[in-house]
Amino acid sequence: MLSLKKIILPLFFLSFFAFVACSEDEAPVEETQEDDGEDEENPVELTLNIAFAKNLGGSDLDDGAAILQASDGGFVMVGSTKSTDGDITDKTADDTDVWILKTDAQGTTQWSKTYGGSGDDEGTSIKKTNDGGYVISAVTRSNDGDIMSGNAGFNDMWVFKISSSGTLLWEKTYGYSGNEVAYNVITTSDGGYLLLGVLDVTASGGEGNVGRSSNSHAGGDYWVLKLDSEGERIWSRYYGGTFTDTAYDAVETPSGGFIITGTSDSQDVDISSNIGEYDYWILNINANGDIIWKKNFGGSEIDLVYAMTKTLDGNYLLVGDTRSNDVNIQNLIGNADVWAVKFNEAGSILWAKTYGGTQFESARDVVALSDGSFAIVSSSRSSDVDVSDNYGVNDAWLLLIDEDGEILGQKNLGGSALDFGEGITQTTDGTLVMTGSTESADGDFTSNKGNKDLFLIKVE
């Protein structure tokens, strides 16, 4: 199975992920996702009790990457599967496919569908469209099956739209001869989409830009594509330097531009204020893709951002992890902490805080709640300081913070094996639902269907 958060990083950095993998391992940023379940008149009252926890999948590798609430109150999850049995009913080959699963409000499966070809294909995000369907970002190595638009090289970005019942409506691939990965897609106010991830500029020979000079770029860059309502490219731009720059999330600004967030270890070309080995790199562009401003956040070590959300007061919150203890990071607790950064539309930091214990924590998604607080889904290996328990080697970890970053509550989720939180959203009744992957068959889970399962957890 593809491991999307690893394939674009340089070798010196893979040692950390290899360690986690041995022990292991939407964002709701645009209007349709962020508004799901939000009612600004009602405060959030969460006891952090689990309403239900379910393993979903087959006898092979299955995981969840993102989750949202459907219009009927149920839940839709996207991820990937290698299984051909259990909850996967339409797949016969043992390659990896995009897996989309629809449940009712109680977590009972209503439909399950896979998408892809004979190569490996993995879903990374899902958003509602204004006609009741869904748009999905993915990475594909296939050149057949559902990938009718072809494959230009090793990995291509893949974006496709489905109906509310899972029927494939259209699909598009974007890429060149190298390693292109789509990490996210958001809906835009003009009825189109913004697709983002990483472009292998070296392999593309500088191709991938429309209306922007490609001089001096190399390695992997942020790749941002503005698409129309049918997935056709309007423009595309890449941003970064000569090393590795990977875009993970975006929001549309009130002026019609976009704020793009990701991780960078470059210190040239578009990056003029590198702080450490890897930084949070924030890019503000206008509606045509021209740079308005760019900022590096972090310290002298490795800082990785994965998700962003708009805040109710008109600002933005980033979440990821940090191994630094200087510059913008004031209090490193463990080997790696969850790091949350709130900043304004000018790119100025309002506050930045670390959370975790003395081991490893890393945030993967965040949702702004209806009272101005935030829910963050993370992974944790600690059982001290901010983390009250550890059920196994690695747990999913739910963290609630207020608008100033103070902890309101936290909860470990999982069992005695490996559990990783990946996606979170708030429901219309004010509760939280999360997805990710689990190898546990105990603790919060009553069974395990295979090597690794997708999980669905609702917390009240």
Both 408 and 426 in one domain: the answer is no
Cβ atoms of 263 and 245 within 8 Å: the answer is yes
pLDDT by residue for the chain (460 residues), tens only, comes to 444 443 333 333 333 333 333 333 333 333 333 444 334 445 668 999 999 999 999 999 999 999 999 999 999 999 999 999 999 999 999 999 999 999 999 999 999 999 999 999 999 999 999 999 999 999 999 999 999 999 998 999 999 999 999 999 999 999 999 999 999 999 999 999 999 999 999 999 889 998 666 666 778 999 999 999 999 999 999 999 999 999 999 999 999 999 999 999 999 999 999 999 999 999 999 999 999 999 999 999 999 999 999 999 999 999 999 999 999 999 999 999 999 999 999 999 999 999 999 999 999 999 999 999 999 999 999 999 999 999 999 999 999 999 999 999 999 999 999 999 999 999 999 999 999 999 999 999 999 998 999 999 999 9
pLDDT of 10: 37
Domain presence at residue 148: yes
Domain presence at residue 13: no
SS3 content of the chain, % helix, strand, coil (to 5): 5, 45, 50
Output the CA torsion 231→222→396→355 (10° steps).
Answer: -140
| CA 13 remoteness from chain centre | 20
DSSP string, 156-220: EEEEEEE-TT--EEEEEEE--SSB-EEEEEEE-TTS-EEEEEEEEHHHHTTTT-SSS--TT--SE
Cβ atoms of 109 and 84 within 8 Å: the answer is no
Number of domains in the chain: 3
pLDDT of 16: 34
Sheet holding 432-438, edge to edge: 50-56, 453-459, 432-438, 419-426
Cβ atoms of 380 and 361 within 8 Å: the answer is yes
Domain presence at residue 251: yes
| Strand, coil or helix: 377 | strand
Domain presence at residue 39: no
3-class SS letters over 186-204: EECCCCCEEEEEEEEHHHH
Dump pLDDT digits (tens) for 303-325. 999 999 999 999 999 999 999 99
pLDDT of 456: 98
Both 190 and 122 in one domain: the answer is yes
Both 193 and 212 in one domain: the answer is yes
* pTM, entire model: 0.90
Of 246, 263, 234, nearest in space to 196 by CA:
246
10 Å Cβ neighbour count for 402?
13
Mean residue pLDDT across the chain: 91
We report the CATH number of the domain holding residue 128 as: 2.40.128
CB neighbour list of residue 369: distance below 8 Å, 6 or more residues apart: 38, 44, 375, 426
If you search the block for the tokens 């630094």, which residue do you land on?
324
The torsion region of residue 23 among left (phi > 0), alpha (psi -120 to 50) and beta comes to alpha
- 199 forms beta bridges with 221
Both 427 and 325 in one domain: the answer is no
Domain presence at residue 179: yes
Both 335 and 192 in one domain: the answer is no
Question: What is the domain extent for residue 432?
Answer: 47-90+101-110+422-460
pLDDT of 19: 34
pLDDT of 148: 97
For the four alpha carbons of 168, 174, 175 and 179, in that order, the dihedral sign comes to negative
pLDDT of 217: 79
pLDDT of 131: 95
Cα–Cα distance list, 278 to 9, 12, 14, 30 (Å): 10, 12, 13, 26
Both 84 and 187 in one domain: the answer is no
Domain presence at residue 40: no
Both 254 and 279 in one domain: the answer is yes
